[in-house]
Structure 1
Amino acid sequence: MLWEEKDELIILNVPTEFSFTQNLRYLMRSTNECMFHIYDNKVRKAIPIDEYTALVEIRELDDYSLIIEFLGDTRPKSKATRERVVAYIIEWFDLKTELKVFYEVAKNDALLKQATIEFMGLRIMGIPDLFEAMVWGILGQQINLAYAYTLKRRLVEKFGRSVKFEGQQYWVFPTPSDIAKLALEDLVDLKMTVKKCEYLIEVASLIDMGLLNKKMLLDTNDLKEAEKVLTKIRGIGPWTANYVLMRCLRFPSAFPIDDVGLHNAIKHVTGSEQKPLRDEIQKLSIPWKGWEAYATFYLWRLLY
């Protein structure tokens, strides 16, 4: 992905099949989001690079490029660190994925056609940090989306760190070491189930001890193998595993087939009053092979 520095700004080229507007609209789906702030068609986010925190503002320059500006005194002096910030943004917006083939598939697919016309240029907005992705997956289990955002805010504001700019706090997600050292009673104020608290601490401990990381999962180079690694962890079932593989590891075939939102989206498109059976979804998804993650994300977008 090409980018260049002009004065103290970074100009980042984007693919043809990319809409900054569509992605901002997706990011704005909850008013209770605590990991970034959006206003005037710009998004501001604190990006952690090891112990350093860069606060960036991202806005559109034109249809082909974005402007990245470091706010306050957070511009890294090291070019290597600035490169890592840009790499994070590229991964966050999934800018390396070529969507032409997906759109060709969707053009002739009864389920996907409407969603891709309506949200053309939308990317799977990622969660580059493995721990954050796994925690978000755990928090979202068996509760509605609104309450999941509330739990995330409580966790982040209690155990994360932040930078302040123009009176606004920008939060960084807690690290695995922040959570691994906690006892269950430390999480009582979050008001989540005891099981979820246990899962958070166990996942944090695995990552903190180096027993689980992104490289390990990516090195499997196989969706089913990576899924097996994740589902061996207590509290991580197939849905959570595929959610993480989709949003963090970028496996294009990741497919949370049992997701209620996916079922509701299919009902919405087909006009059916019945929840689709697993066998039906497997048949409907045959044309999506290799694009199951994007197909799921676009169908979700019809509802959320």
Structure 2
Amino acid sequence: MFWEEIDDKILLHTPSGFNFSNNLQYLSRSTNECLFHIQDNKIRKAIPLGTCNLLIEISEYKDQILAINFINDTCPDGKNRNEEIVAYIIEWFDLNADLQEFYKLASTDPILSQAAQKFEGLRIMGIPDLFEAMTWGILGQQINLTYAYTLKRRLVETYGHSIHFEGHDYWLFPTPDTIANLTVHDLSGLKMTVKKCEYLIDVANLIHKGLLTKEMLLAENDVKRAEKILTQIRGIGPWTANYVLMRCLRFPSAFPIDDVGLHNAIKQVTGSPTKPTRNEIMQLAQHWTGWEAYATFYLWRLLY
């Protein structure tokens, strides 16, 4: 991915077909998001970088080029710093993925064609941090999306850190070591279930102790083997595991097949009075092989 430094900003050249507006619209789906701020077609986000935290602003500089500006900059300058920021944004926006094959199969697929055409240029907006991704998966278990955002905000604003700039707090997600040192009683004020508190602390401990890492999961180079590692963790079932594998580990064949939103989206597209069965979804997904994650993400987008 080509990038350059011009006038104290980084210009990142995105792949052909990337649509910044479609991605911002997806990121704007909740008014209760606490980890970034979108205004005037620009997104601001605090990013941890080594021993310091950076506040960056991303906007569209020209067609297919993103401008990255540093705001309230307190980190030392240097090419390594900029390389880390660019790498984070590439991962966040999944810019290394070549979607030509996905769009080709989606164009003739009766389930995917509508979403693929409507949201062309949308990427799976990722969650680069493993602990954040697993936490979001745990928080979202068996509750609606609105309440999941409320729980995330409570967790972040209670145990995270923020950069205050121009009257706005830009929050950073709590670190695993912070959560690992808590008890269920400490988390009880957040109003999540006792089980979710336990799962969250367990995952934080695994990551804090180095017993679970992105590198470990990526080294499997196989979505089913990586899923097995995750589902051996208490509180991590197939849905949560596949959510993490698609949003954080970027396995294109990750497939949260039991997701309620996926079922509702297929029901909407087909006009069926009932949700599809698991076997029916497996039949439909035979045509999505290798792109199940993107198929799911685009169908979710029809709903939210």
In the alignment, what sits opposite 1:4? 4
Shift of residue 7 of structure 1? 2.3
Shift of residue 274 of structure 1? 1.1
Matched position secondary structure for 1:46: strand
In the alignment, what sits opposite 2:268? 268
In the alignment, what sits opposite 1:113? 113
In the alignment, what sits opposite 2:199? 199
- Fraction of identical pairs, as percent: 68
In the alignment, what sits opposite 2:101? 101
Provide the aligned length of Structure 1 versus Structure 2. Answer: 304
The one-letter amino acid of 1:185's match is H
- Counterparts of 1:74 and 1:103, CA distance in 2: 42
Shift of residue 86 of structure 1? 1.0
In the alignment, what sits opposite 2:22? 22
Shift of residue 24 of structure 1? 0.2
Listed one character per residue, the Cα deviations across residues 239-290 of structure 1 (whole Å, up to 9, x for unaligned) are 0000000000000000000000000000000000111111110110111100
The one-letter amino acid of 1:118's match is K
The one-letter amino acid of 1:117's match is Q
In 1, are the aligned partners of 2:53 and 2:75 still within 8 Å (CA)? no
Shift of residue 54 of structure 1? 0.9
The one-letter amino acid of 1:237's match is G
Shift of residue 61 of structure 1? 1.1
The one-letter amino acid of 1:296's match is T
In the alignment, what sits opposite 2:190? 190
In the alignment, what sits opposite 2:167? 167
Q: How does 1:71-220 map to 2 (within 5 A)?
A: 71-74=71-74, 76-220=76-220
In 2, are the aligned partners of 1:253 and 1:293 still within 8 Å (CA)? yes
Sort the Cα spacing of 1:117 and 1:195 in 2 relative to 1 into closer, same or farther, 3 A. Answer: same
- Counterparts of 1:240 and 1:92, CA distance in 2: 19
2:247 pairs with 1:239: no
Matched position secondary structure for 2:228: helix
The TM-score, its normalising length taken from structure 2, stands at 0.99
In 2, are the aligned partners of 1:231 and 1:237 still within 8 Å (CA)? yes
Matched position secondary structure for 1:163: strand
The one-letter amino acid of 2:96's match is K
In 2, are the aligned partners of 1:76 and 1:82 still within 8 Å (CA)? no
Ranges of 4+ aligned residues in structure 1 off by more than 6 Å: none
Shift of residue 75 of structure 1? 5.1
Q: How does 1:216-227 map to 2 (within 5 A)?
A: 216-227=216-227
Shift of residue 50 of structure 1? 2.6
- Counterparts of 1:47 and 1:41, CA distance in 2: 19
- Counterparts of 2:74 and 2:43, CA distance in 1: 16
- Counterparts of 2:82 and 2:129, CA distance in 1: 17
Listed one character per residue, the Cα deviations across residues 139-167 of structure 1 (whole Å, up to 9, x for unaligned) are 00000000000000000000000111111
The one-letter amino acid of 1:283's match is Q
In the alignment, what sits opposite 1:280? 280
CA RMSD of aligned residues (A): 0.7
Matched position secondary structure for 2:253: coil
The one-letter amino acid of 1:236's match is I
- Counterparts of 2:74 and 2:18, CA distance in 1: 28
Matched position secondary structure for 1:295: helix
The TM-score, its normalising length taken from structure 1, stands at 0.99
Comparing 44-53 with 284-293, greater Cα deviation is found at 44-53
